[in-house]
Amino acid sequence: MDAIEAILSRRSIRKYNKKPIPDNVIKELLEAAMSAPSAGNEQPWHFIIIDDPQILSEVPTFHNHAQMLKDASLAILICGDKNLDKHNGMWVQDCSAATENILIAVRAKELGAVWLGIFPRKERIKGMRQLLNIPEHVMPFSLISIGHPAEKQGRVNRYNTSRIHYNKW
C-alpha cells in the first residue's frame, strides 16, 4: 500500500479480533513514530507499549471513550518529556506527528487503530500516570488502541474547498 492510499483510507477501528501483534510489526510502528518531524529535531517523546489485558482493562475506569481497549491486542501510550522539550511547548506538535505516523503505519500493515485523547484532560492524565507509574516531567499525550480489525470502515472524502485559501484569507 503506498503512502497516499494508507492516508486516504485510514479510519478509526474500534472492534478487533483478539490476536497478538508480532514484535517485528510493533518495532515497525515505533520506527514510524520516531521518524516523525520534531521541533529542532529534539524528539521529546517516549512510547509505552501496553499488552497486559489487566492494565488495558483499567483505562476505561478513568477514560469514558476507551471501551475498545478490552479487545485490543495492545495499546501504545505516546508521552512528551518536558525535560527534552527545548522549544517551549512544541512537544505537543511533535507527539501529534508521532501519533499520526503510527496510525498511518497501522493502516499500511492492514491492522486497525484508534487515537484516544489523553492530554489535556486532567482526569485522563492522572489516570495514566497512576496506572503506569509515569514521572511528573513526562506528560501522557495520546493512547493508540491497536488490533486486528473486526470491522470495516469505508473511505470518506473530507476534501473541503471552503477551507482552502490562496495567498490571503
Ligand X SMILES: Cc1cc2nc3c(=O)[nH]c(=O)nc-3n(C[C@H](O)[C@H](O)[C@H](O)COP(=O)(O)O)c2cc1C
Binding window for ligand X (CB under 6 A); candidates: 1-9, 39-47, 74-82, 112-120: 112-120
Q: Does 12 bind ligand X (CB under 6 A)?
A: yes
* Burial of 22 from C-beta contacts in 10 A (0-12 / 13-18 / 19+): exposed
Q: Does 115 bind ligand X (CB under 6 A)?
A: yes
User: In whole angstroms, how close is the CB of 153 to ligand X at the nearest point?
Assistant: 6
Residue 36: Cβ within 10 Å count: 19
DSSP-derived letter for residue 12 is B
Closer by beta carbon to ligand X, 14 or else 148: 14
Q: Does 114 bind ligand X (CB under 6 A)?
A: yes
Closer by beta carbon to ligand X, 65 or else 82: 65
Of residues 141 through 160, those in contact with ligand X by CB under 6 A are 153
For residues 43 and 95, what is the distance between their CA atoms, to the nearest angstrom?
9
Binding window for ligand X (CB under 6 A); candidates: 7-15, 39-47, 81-89, 125-133: 7-15
For residues 31 and 112, what is the distance between their CA atoms, to the nearest angstrom?
18
Q: Between β-strands 112-117 and 138-149, what pairing exists: parallel, antiparallel or unpaired?
A: antiparallel
Q: Under 8 Å CB-to-CB from 8, ≥6 apart: which residues?
A: 155
Q: Does 76 bind ligand X (CB under 6 A)?
A: no
Q: Contacts with ligand X: how many residues (CB under 6 A)?
A: 9
Binding site for ligand X (CB under 6 A): 11-12, 14, 65, 114-117, 153
